[in-house]
Every structure is written in C-alpha cells, then in structure tokens.
Structure 1
C-alpha cells in the first residue's frame, strides 16, 4: 500500500473535491484501494441512513466486478498516455450518473424496473468523462422518466434531504444531487428539462450547472422532452462544475440537437434582473433568505433591476400546460400505456396527457413561444442576467404527498422557462435559512454565457465562502507558501503542471481586490496575462478604474516555491497581491512597462473567460 493510501486508511473519503482526489493520486495514492474504500464507506452510510429514508440515493451502486472492469480501462488509458497521469485530468475520480443516462456495464432504468435495458455503449457525455479518467461509482435514483421536481416519484423510494429527512431533496435528479451533497462523489451528472439540474442543487447546498441546450450531448439519454433536454452537472463548488463542463462540452455528430459552443454574448455580469412580483406560496423563510441574498448581491457591487417577469412566467406555464407534454409521450408513451406495476401513477397521468393535444394546438403554442421570446430578448437589453431564488418554496414530503402536482408546479416557477427561452443557468448555495435548511439562488443568462456565469459564481462563492476551502488560509504551522495565480498556471491551463508537479494544493478560487487591471501580453508562448495594480492616487481621482480579477490560490512548500519562482520569465514576477476580502498573499504581478504593447482585458473578469472567447472566435 502506498504512503498516501496508508495515511488516509480509516479516514473518511467523503467530501473530497476534484483537487483532493488529484492530490491523493499525485502523492502516490492507489486508485483500486481508494475507490474500494470509498465504495465500502458509501455502502455503510446508505445502510444506516435516517429512519424516514425510504429510498436509496442509488439504483445501482458499482459492484466489485464493475469497479474492477473500469480500473482495467483506466490502466489502459494511462498506458496509452505513456504513464502521464496529467494526460487524464480526471484520473481515478469517482462520479455518479443519473439512471436515465446510459453507462455501459450498468442497467438503465429511468427509475422504472420494467423499462430497464442494458446499454451497449456509454452516453457521449459519460464516454468523454471516462476517457478523461473518471470512474462511475453508480447509477442514481430519480423521479421516474425525469418527470418531476420533487424527488419522490420513484418505485425505488423517495430520496430525502440530507439536512432534514422530512423535506424533499428535489428532482428529478434527486439521487445525483444527494450523492454530491453527502460527499460520496465530487461531481455527478443529472438532466435538466424544467429545472431538474437546479432545484436539487438549491435544496442540497451544492452547485448545479445547466449549460446551453446542446452544449452537452444528450446522445444515450432517455428523453423527457428531447428538444429541451440538457445534461447537467452537480458539484461541491463552481470551479469543479466548470471543469467538468469544459471537458464534456464537445460537439456530437450522433446527437441531432448537439450544438458547438458559441461565442459568449456576455463578457461579465453586473446588472441583475430581479422579479418585480414574486410568489412564495406561503414560505416566509424562503422569502427572507432571498431578501438576504439580494442584500449580499448589492454589497458585492451588482446592480439589481426590478423587472416584470410576466413573459417568463407565461413561457414557464407553456411547458406543462401546452403541447410540450406530447414530447414526453413521444419518448415513452407507448411503454406507459402498458400499465406496468412499476409505473408511478402521477407520472403516468402526466405523460398520458401528452396524447390528448392536436397539431393545431402545438403550432399555436410554438407561435406564442416565439412571441414571448421576442419580448424576453427585449427585456435582456436592460440587464445582463436574471437573479432568482432557485425555488420559491421548500416543501416537506408530506406536503408533496398531499398535493403532488400543485407543489411540483410551484417549484418550477423560476426554472420551467429556461430551456424554452434557450438560456443557460447556474444554481449556487447562499446562506442557510433560519431553520437550517439550504437556500440557493440561480443566475440565468443567454445561451453560451457559461464563462460569464463561471466568473459570477467565483465572485459569489469567494464572498460567501461556500463551500469552505479544503485547506483554511490561516497561519501556517509549516513553511508553506500561498501563491495566487491568474493566467497560464490556472487549473487546466498550459503551465498548471508547474504547480502540480511540485505537489501544490489548490485551496480555492477567489478574487483580487478591485485595484487591478488585466492585460493579454504580446508575443508570449503559451499566451500569458499581466496583472498590474492601479496606482492608489489614480484610483482615488477616478482617472483609472480597478477591477476584481479571478485568481486561484495554491499552497506549496517553501523549497518548491523557490524553484517555481525561478521559472517565471520577465516581465512577470512574484509580489504581494491583495484579495477582495483583504487578505494579502504572494501572487503574479507584471512590470507596468509591458502593457504598452498588451491588450486590456479586465472586462472579462479573468483569464479563463478571455481564453474561452478566443477559442469561440477561432471555432466560428
């Protein structure tokens, strides 16, 4: 057994981020030993879950044989990369997959035992992640056929909330969200047609990223509404969600609805539209939590614009009151009519209703959708993104059982319109409610605005410190150094290996103080930015403007830091960098003379968004 595997023996593997798993392997961890230990811990936890936990997170947890087969494939990938673990960015990282997404070697049930089949190939998104080294820990529970936002419509039982088992977990991606919330895996895949990748994130204090329609392939996904379906990503933090999305967002010729990631229409998010009229359905705690979130947004410098959401609310109503239910019937209607014992009665009634509409009604609804889209596009001229509560209320299991359709409809208030309007969204944790339950906000932007959403998420999470960094930035008991990186050394960037090869540990993604400007330096290979601090006198006079720039904080020992600094070429160097929360750390700085031939890119908010824009332009 390797030193790192021996060191963590007997300790919990729950709650590890992508960085924690990467660190373990860089320090010599054995994938077979670590993943076997994790599976054993998950089985133990699931067997002792709360008294009201009538349904498991998992429909199928990986067996020893299924894990072994994946470990053989992982070794083959490593051999093909000549043993270079850095060629596999997700080497040995466990993840969970919603059980309406195909994984070869596992059954696909869509939470209906009689529907089960054995896929011969991975869904495209699963294949891409497994090719990057990730390991499927299991298939997760869901609202049957992804029809519901509650997480209770499954013959495998309702997935309860880990904060309070009397409350729902949200759906339909209930198991995938709770698998992350309980710390079983650092990320998971869900699907999102009407909010299934955002509602569970908000109810479980995690991040839920629903990218633009077609950005993640739905090939190998059991359809709900095929023209609207999206694969979504749950993660412990926004940086991990962004990394998974970047790996999986590839055009797929096999998916007729796949789209190439386009040029981001947003460079940064500053103006946020907030609904002028907001239904809360009697949930005062949810309303109070959103009021606090609005105050936090304003304190961070975001402009809040009260806006009439009527076109969005009307569009949301079309999803279940209009002919799009017919898409659900087109997907599984014939099976539903067989009336198998395992079919949930609420799900059956919803899907069966899709067979009642006419083609005339479908065209009329599409005409109205396009009219509403024109109104929504005009609305977006006045702001950058929507800022809404992920859900307007937080129901109990008993409340859902009493009025399953009504409560489900209420939950979709701020989610149902998003795919119909071709928008992307990220659900983020906010402060806990007064009763200790999670509260989440969602930021919604035009298609292909994922870089801007990621920048907002970094700002938001840095300010709220949610989730906590795996290593606290307090006084060090050893001789380690914390360094802020801003460009080519960021995670996934060309020079990141200069950190990982020295066993540096990623602490968090955060923001600089609003006192810096970012430039793309000329004639540098690989491309590098220069971060320049604006003179205080110029800031105070208003003649120069400072910006908050996204940075990553890494910790390494002093000896490694010394050799790291030796590799930094002019005009770059290491100095003292001030963060948005007042902390001072070592960080990259640039000689002011170098910006004379550089391009000013501060408006992007960070190097990653600028590079994403360059790639988008090159691909179009």
Structure 2
C-alpha cells in the first residue's frame, strides 16, 4: 500500500471517530475499549510520516495492551491489566497505528465459529442469522462493520481466515515465527500466529511490514531469509486447485466454481493436485494428541468450572489432560510423514487455492451441534500451520444468496511476499513486476537445474533466484539424453511440440553467474533463445538436434520432473 493510501485509510477511519464508533457499537464485537480521550492523546503524538500514521486498529483480546486486561474471553481474567503491550501491538503503535480496544473472540482462541464467548456471540455482518466465524470474531466484525480499518487477530487453525471469509475481508496468516508471539496468551504455542484483518491486501501488507521482526526473546521467532527459498518464485504464475470433488455445501460449491473460473482468468496456468495428505494433516490438530498442547497452554485456567467458562471449549480442551507423551510423539511422526508427502506438491506450483471453509453455518446449526459444525469448518485451514505454510484469505464473489464467500491462497514458508502479490492481483491491487536488475539475465531451465533437482545448486551457488514458472511455446519437444553422469534432458525446437508446451523455470542470475555456468554445460547442450507460451524470448538451455537420434522422447510427460518420476 502506498503511503498516501495508508493516510487515506486513516482519514476515513480517524482514531477519534473510530473510538466513538466502537463505544457506540454493539458490545459483542468489543470486550474492552481505550477511553476516547486516551485515543485522541495517542493519535496526537504520532509522527505524521510514520508508515501507519493515524490508522486505528482493534486487538484480539488474547494479545496484551498495556493498561487493559487480557481476558482471552474469560471474565475471570478481567481484573488484571497488562503491564506492557504484546510485541505485535507495540510494533503497530511504533509504526503510527492507534489502538482502539480489545475485541471479542472464541474463548482461549479455541473455535472457528465466533459463538464461544461469555461476552456474547458475534454474527456475520451480512446476516445476523449466520456465524461470524472465529476465533478472531470480534476483530473481523470490527473491521467489516467499518469501525476500524485494521485489526490484529491470531490464526492457529484458521481463526483469522475463517472470519475473514465470512465477512468479506482479507486475512493474512504469515509464515510461523515472522511475527513475534511474545505477549500473546497461548493456544498452541508451537503453531500460534499473529495475523491481520483488513479490507485490502495493501493495508494488511503495510501492517505486516511493521510486524515482522526477529524477536530474540521469543523462542519461536525466526528471521525472514534475505531471498525466498530455492523453490519459491518471486512471481506466482502457476496456481493449483484440488483435483476431484470437495466437501462443500451446494451454495459454497457453486461459489467455488465461480472462483476457479476467476482464477483461470487471473493466472497463466491452473493445474489440479491431490490434497489428500493436506486434509489428513488437518485432522491431527483437534482429533489427535496435538490437543495436549492446548491443555499445556491454558488447562490450568479450566478449573474450577463456572459460568465464566464456555462449556464447549472446556469440554474439548480438558481431553488433553489424558493424552500421554508416547501418543504425542507418534502423532509427530505421522505429521512428519504427511509433511514429506506434501513436499512434492510444491515442486511445480507456486500456490494452492482452496475454499476457506466447506460451508457457512447458521448460529442455530452451531447451537445444535457445536463440536461437529466447528470441526468441519477447519477442513481446509487446520493443516496450514502444522505443515509450516503461509496463507492469505481473500474475498471472492458472494454466494448466490448474498453471503460473503472467501478463498485462500496457500504457499510454502517464507513465500509471503509473492503470495501477497498474488492476493493483491486477485483483489485488483496488483503490484507491478519489478524489472530484471541491471547486470542480471533471465535463464530458462527445463531439466536437472530445476528446483530440487540434482544440478539446481549450480544456480543457487551462482546467486540465482527463481523468478517464475512457465511453459514453452508449442514448438518444443523434450528428450532424455544419453549422456554420462546426472540424467539430463534436451529441449529441442522441433516445430511439432504439444499445445501445452514443456514446463520450465525462469531464473534470474547475475551475468558473472551465467558466465560461470557456461563452463559447466556439456555437449550437446548449450544456451540459446527459448520462446515461452506468452511469446516472451529468454535465454535457456537447448540441445543440438543431432542428440535426439539416440534419445528418448519424454515430451508426453509435460516436464522433466514428471519424466523422472515415471521411471523411478
């Protein structure tokens, strides 16, 4: 978001006006509010050129704000004001944002419905018969109702993305550890993420830029690498959707079909992938021994029982007391296997688009089956932190009945920046693709130099960065060459290739890196001009046509990676 856009957001939702609106708003969205006089005083002290100067924000009430209690929606904790603010809260304030108050939530951040709070149930802003989603329910309602443009939330199992989808918002769940969780009351300490809710990707991104920091006092904090990991492209052009049917209610299924059609108009390549391992991982969070981590985090607050405790939350988390250590380690082993099973999914795609939820339940449906309905809502969100992924929920076209509908883009850890570019493009806030820096060249690779394959270290050692994934024009074929050493293909312009082309990766390398690579290219391979499916010409690996005489044509596999898998 440009600085002017941030200031526009601040002017449209000034701190004093936001504070007055919050005080006048229905209480279920807010648990505690900063006095308006204090808000005005804090706003007056903000440096006018601060990145988020004057932007009012809400804070989910499991994050500390100095001077107000942190209740986690437990009234028994309402008498102990926090001495200091959570790191995330303090960083937003340092960037010029002004805290308005603490928002309602599913108690102890355990729930995806927004109804599990002694302070009252939050409803969808479009229709009060439907749930708001949770656990960051109050933060979502505060933003969606226009009281504040920005709110802090958390997302352990989907607690930020679900209410974003149900209220037409952008919910950014960054890579675990990029944002400090010091000052956050834990739900699942190893999985907790501080997230943002906003109406635009741009404002959420500006907030995230202020939030990201390596906290030496947070053992779960970790630094953002200077460059994306080797398999993460700086521009996302290949997006996957699930292969086969999904567990969606009819209205959600129709909206999903509309979203997929929209995606096909947005990105050059949409492919289908098997998501069964992702869904299996999702079930571990509440249906397996990982529930013990919630008991470890706040089980001591569940006794004695009383009206201050939500009975559904207490009943779920109390089961964690009986989980033994052997079961936890067995579950970790299962998760490691599922993580390995999903690793290959990212080899040829940049991101995965999924529904956020299978349905949008009514408050009556949740009341009739509070555990079952909530469990189903996490079908497509629970796995993200377990598998160490980042995600952003974005509004899609509303359902036929007018209810908000959202999808999410998911990508590997530390793919946050290009993922937000993709989300921005989806929302019509496209970020211009930066030009190739001076002193660098683009290089298309179709074989052993691709991400994760045997010769890829030659590119990364030369300072290469994966720019984007693409396919060639239809004029090319791919052959498995009879060469010693590492198995290698040859890309040849024959004029009769398949309509869908051959998969390539386009890497950005400094000129000296390209020069160093030249000495490592054996005959019959060399560098030449490769035409991509969008008509772009880039330098790339090509093979002399004579080498195909005793080579095997593997073009029908579509990529060298698929050809290798076929003979593995």
Confirm or deny a common fold (TM above 0.5).
yes
Residue 54 of structure 2 is matched in structure 1 by 92
Structure 2: runs of 5 or more not aligned = 441-472, 477-510, 515-531, 533-568
Could you tell me how far apart the structure 2 residues matched to 1:307 and 1:522 are? 37
Is 2:398 the partner of 1:436?
Answer: no
Residue 458 of structure 2 is matched in structure 1 by none
Which consecutive segments of 4 or more residues in structure 1 shift more than 6 A? 540-543
SS at match of 2:436: strand
SS at match of 1:232: strand
1:65-104 correspondence to structure 2 within 5 Å: 65-68=37-40, 70-71=42-43, 75=45, 78=47, 85-86=48-49, 88-104=50-66
Residue 21 of structure 2 is matched in structure 1 by 41
Residue 316 of structure 1 is matched in structure 2 by 282
Work out which of the residue numbers 149, 160, 164 in structure 1 matches 2:112.
Answer: 149
Could you tell me how far apart the structure 2 residues matched to 1:541 and 1:346 are? 58
Output one character per residue of 1:441-495: Cα deviation in whole Å (capped at 9) or x when no partner: 1010000101111110121111xxxxxxxxxxxxxxxxxxxxxxxxxxxxxxxxx
Could you tell me how far apart the structure 1 residues matched to 2:346 and 2:85 are? 38
Work out which of the residue numbers 28, 31, 51 in structure 2 matches 1:59.
Answer: 31
Work out which of the residue numbers 166, 176, 192 in structure 1 matches 2:139.
Answer: 176
Residue 543 of structure 2 is matched in structure 1 by none
Q: Is residue 238–residue 267 contact of structure 2 (8 Å, CA) maintained in 1?
A: no
Residue 242 of structure 2 is matched in structure 1 by 275
Work out which of the residue numbers 111, 116, 125 in structure 1 matches 2:88.
Answer: 125
Q: 1:66 to 1:358 in 2, by over 3 A?
A: same
Is 2:430 the partner of 1:510?
Answer: yes
Could you tell me how far apart the structure 2 residues matched to 1:18 and 1:147 are? 36
Offset, 1:337: 2.1
Could you tell me how far apart the structure 2 residues matched to 1:541 and 1:143 are? 53
Is 2:340 the partner of 1:374?
Answer: yes
Offset, 1:178: 1.2
Residue 331 of structure 1 is matched in structure 2 by 297
1:196-345 correspondence to structure 2 within 5 Å: 196-262=159-225, 263-265=227-229, 266=232, 267-280=234-247, 283-345=249-311
Output one character per residue of 1:98-145: Cα deviation in whole Å (capped at 9) or x when no partner: 000001021110001002331111100111111111110110000000
Q: 1:269 to 1:94 in 2, by over 3 A?
A: same
Residue 22 of structure 1 is matched in structure 2 by 7
Structure 1: runs of 5 or more not aligned = 1-15, 48-54, 79-84, 463-508, 524-539, 544-595, 604-620
Residue 547 of structure 2 is matched in structure 1 by none
Question: Aligned-residue CA RMSD in angstroms?
Answer: 2.8
Q: Is residue 422–residue 430 contact of structure 2 (8 Å, CA) maintained in 1?
A: no
Offset, 1:542: 10
Q: Is residue 18–residue 93 contact of structure 1 (8 Å, CA) maintained in 2?
A: no
Work out which of the residue numbers 351, 355, 359 in structure 2 matches 1:389.
Answer: 355
Offset, 1:30: 13
Residue 76 of structure 2 is matched in structure 1 by 114
Q: Is residue 174–residue 391 contact of structure 2 (8 Å, CA) maintained in 1?
A: yes
Output one character per residue of 1:174-203: Cα deviation in whole Å (capped at 9) or x when no partner: 011111111111111000100001011111
Q: 1:541 to 1:164 in 2, by over 3 A?
A: same
Residue 490 of structure 1 is matched in structure 2 by none
Larger radius of gyration: 2
Could you tell me how far apart the structure 2 residues matched to 1:343 and 1:134 are? 33
Q: 1:434 to 1:362 in 2, by over 3 A?
A: same
SS at match of 1:202: helix
Aligned length: 445
Q: 1:178 to 1:542 in 2, by over 3 A?
A: farther
